[in-house]
Amino acid sequence: MINLKINGKAISVADGTTVLEAAKQAGVKIPTLCYLKDINAIGACRVCVVEVKGARSLVASCVYPASEGMEVITDSQKVLDSRKTTVELILSDHERKCLSCVRSQNCELQALSKELGCDETKFKGAVNEFPLDETTPYLIRDNNKCILCRRCVAACRDYQSVAVIGPNARGFDTHIGTSFEKDLKDIPCVGCGQCITVCPTGALRERDETDGVLAALNDPTKYVVMATAPAVRVAIGEEFGLPLGTNAEGKMVASMKMLGADKVFDVNFTADLTIMEEGYEFLGRVQNGGVLPMLTSCSPAWIKFIEHYYPELIPNLSSCKSPQQMFGAVIKTWFAEKNGIDPKNIVMVSVMPCVAKKFEKGRPDQSAAGVPDIDYVITTRELARLIKRKGILFNELADAEFDNPLGVGSGAGLIFGVTGGVMEAALRTVKEVLEGKPLEKLNFTDVRGLAGIKEATYNVAGIDVKVAVASGLANAKKLMDKINAGEADYHFIEIMSCPGGCVNGGGQPIKTAFVRNNIDYRALRSKAIYDTDEAMTLRKSHENPIVKELYATYFGEPNSHKAHHILHTSYVKRGKY
């Protein structure tokens, strides 16, 4: 431990602690812009400067180490004036269209400018102008609002090992771009959206589909079905001021019914269906000498990642569609037939914690009924915008339940929202079905938690099944390299592209850097999912009564010819460009 003073207050901190971290322990918040814990400590923006007794100039607290006997002043006039000037200079080359910006009132630059009392027009002069990049179905890049913090660059590089964006040019012309200034559609971006969630301004945002959804809801000739992913319910409340980790499922369902959807269903149902198809596919591979290890196929950014960077491992992928695509396929085949509705008149809207789902809905081989399985994908953030636009008082709503029959989902389907959840759900079913007796213990805790890579071995009907779970594509890359090197003896691998799983998806409510650096919001959202699963009576996918009915009356059995036609898909080898 070392001893120092922060604004005259004596504290002791561990050796290696930065001044920024020491100040937090002393109860002092130092503002930051570029800093993100673990991935972006570069001292570039100079917003976090402080005075250190004996130092010749102000120092960047995010990278400056605390030392024995150090005396730090974080709030002197010199410090405050420096921060204010820095932010005013950033504002001088920033497109100040705050009233129409998607990040208004949740913009770190806006908040800091107000906090420091900045004059946004103090420095006048040349201003960069950049064209919007609107070339992908999932992401819009607006460099006119970029402040060059490089947080998106760090997320793309360190979380995901994709590294397709970075600083181009020099000096006043510096901007975040791609190699050779290519459009986003022409680079091996996987669409995970982690760059959006770390951006402090509106320089990166999802492609908004709410206008299309509103038009469908207002069209009397359309039958609109809305369905939500497991992770949405434990995050949507944050958009309305509810505490982190609140499961707002009841209010979420009530608000969607007030929006005017004909049916509001739960994608947990097709998470259960995925387990049936994927579980039996895995059993078939084990019993018939199929390609192992089998890789899960639920995360669309992961699918695009393997298509770009490990196309030789495509045969290892499960051929199952994701729960989102299965849901649309079931709605436009079985549900349409059962209710006498022309699939062309059904508008399927999925609410996802993910922006890559916007890309996934347009993939080939995703139209079981001859029309797209999914028509619109909106993120958790977009659903909140719709609710606010329609004047619905979310927090005052009485809880409502999903509609029948596809509102029935198990706890196993629910835990798809967290890293390790798909694996645990599969194990609950595969182990019980193969051993022919109820599980003594439902929770497979070895695959839980936020560690980047988790490994476990389970005895299933006398066979030792070795599994691995990875979240974040940087961790997925480590496992794929092991497979290619012949060093992986796994049978089954679950990959979630976003660190922590879907609870931390690219379409979830955006948290400020201060929250990201100091509160484990991923753990709080995950806990809400596990707590709900624990309280449910239906916790196994193969016991879902509607799943049973679907196989008995429509598909016949898992992996049948009809199931393959409707619920399975194919993949594409993509170049690295």
pLDDT digits (tens, 9 = 90+) for 431-463: 999 999 999 899 999 999 999 999 999 999 999
pLDDT digits (tens, 9 = 90+) for 171-216: 999 999 999 999 999 999 999 999 999 999 999 999 999 999 999 9
> Is residue 89 pLDDT above 70, yes or no?
yes
The answer to whether position 82 is within a domain reads no
Are 40 and 69 within 8 A, CB to CB? no
The answer to whether position 428 is within a domain reads yes
Cβ density class 107-128: b for 16+ within 10 Å, e for less = bbbbebbeebebeeeeeeeeee
Q: How far apart are CA 253 and CA 265, in angstroms?
A: 9
Peptide bond into 405 cis (omega under 30): yes
pLDDT digits (tens, 9 = 90+) for 283-309: 999 999 999 999 999 999 999 999 999
pLDDT at 361: 98
The alpha carbon torsion through 290, 470, 139, 273 (nearest 10 deg) reads 50
The answer to whether position 359 is within a domain reads yes
Percentage of residues in the chain having pLDDT higher than 70? 100
Residues 23 and 71 placed together within one structural domain of the fold: yes
3-class SS of residue 234:
helix
The answer to whether position 143 is within a domain reads yes
pLDDT at 546: 97
The answer to whether position 572 is within a domain reads no
Are 188 and 88 within 8 A, CB to CB? no
Residues 291 and 385 placed together within one structural domain of the fold: yes
pLDDT digits (tens, 9 = 90+) for 388-420: 999 999 999 999 999 999 999 999 999 999 999
Q: How far apart are CA 148 and CA 163, in angstroms?
A: 16
Residues 201 and 328 placed together within one structural domain of the fold: no
Confidence label for 64 from pLDDT (cuts 50, 70 and 90): very high
Residues 453 and 390 placed together within one structural domain of the fold: yes
Task: Give the domain-ending residue among 41, 75, 109.
Answer: 75
> Is residue 533 pLDDT above 90, yes or no?
yes
Residues 426 and 341 placed together within one structural domain of the fold: yes
Residues 449 and 518 placed together within one structural domain of the fold: yes
Average pLDDT rounded to a whole number, residues 258-280: 97
Query: pTM above the 0.85 mark?
Result: yes
Q: How far apart are CA 577 and CA 573, in angstroms?
A: 12
Q: Which two tokens stand for residue 247?
A: 């499961």
Bridge partners, residue 60, by sequence:
49
Confidence label for 575 from pLDDT (cuts 50, 70 and 90): confident
Confidence label for 335 from pLDDT (cuts 50, 70 and 90): very high
Residues 184 and 240 placed together within one structural domain of the fold: no
The answer to whether position 382 is within a domain reads yes
Residues 488 and 377 placed together within one structural domain of the fold: yes
Task: Give the domain-ending residue among 183, 206, 229.
Answer: 206
Q: What is the CATH number of the domain that holds 473?
A: 3.40.50.1780
The answer to whether position 85 is within a domain reads no
pLDDT at 3: 97
Residues 389 and 439 placed together within one structural domain of the fold: yes
Task: Give the domain-ending residue among 168, 183, 206.
Answer: 206
Confidence label for 577 from pLDDT (cuts 50, 70 and 90): low
What does pLDDT average to over the chain?
Answer: 97
Q: In what order do the strands lie in the sheet with 9-13?
A: 9-13, 2-6, 71-73, 49-52, 59-60
Domain count, the chain: 3
DSSP class of 64: P
Q: How far apart are CA 40 and CA 197, in angstroms?
A: 14
Burial-class residue 456 by CB neighbours within 10 Å (0-12, 13-18, 19+): middle
Q: What is the CATH number of the domain that holds 156?
A: 3.30.70.20
pLDDT digits (tens, 9 = 90+) for 349-399: 999 999 999 999 999 999 999 999 999 999 999 999 999 999 999 999 999
Can you give the residue range of the structural domain that contains 40? 2-75
Residues 133 and 258 placed together within one structural domain of the fold: no
Percentage of residues in the chain having pLDDT higher than 90? 98
Residues 186 and 284 placed together within one structural domain of the fold: no
The answer to whether position 454 is within a domain reads yes
> Is residue 576 pLDDT above 70, yes or no?
no
Residues 132 and 232 placed together within one structural domain of the fold: no
Are 353 and 502 within 8 A, CB to CB? yes
Report which of 140, 119, 121, 122 is spatially closest to residue 131, judged by C-alpha positions: 140
